[in-house]
Amino acid sequence: MKWIIAYVGAAISFGALDAIWLRWAGPNFYRPAIGELMADSFRVGPAAIFYLLYIAGIVWFAIRPGLENGLPAAALNGALLGALCYATYDMTNQATLKVWPTYITIADICWGAFATSVAATVATFLVHKLG
What's the rounded Cα separation, in Å, for the pair 131 and 126? Answer: 7
Give residue-wise pLDDT tens across range 23-76.
Answer: 999 999 999 999 989 998 889 999 999 999 999 999 999 999 999 999 999 999
> pTM score, two decimals?
0.96
Which amino acid is located at 2 in the chain? K
Query: How many residues can be counted in the chain?
Result: 131
Other CB atoms within a 10 A radius of the CB of residue 45 amount to 7
Domain residue spans in the chain?
1-130
Q: Judge contact between 79 and 113, C-beta under 8 A.
A: yes
Residue 1, SS3 per DSSP: coil
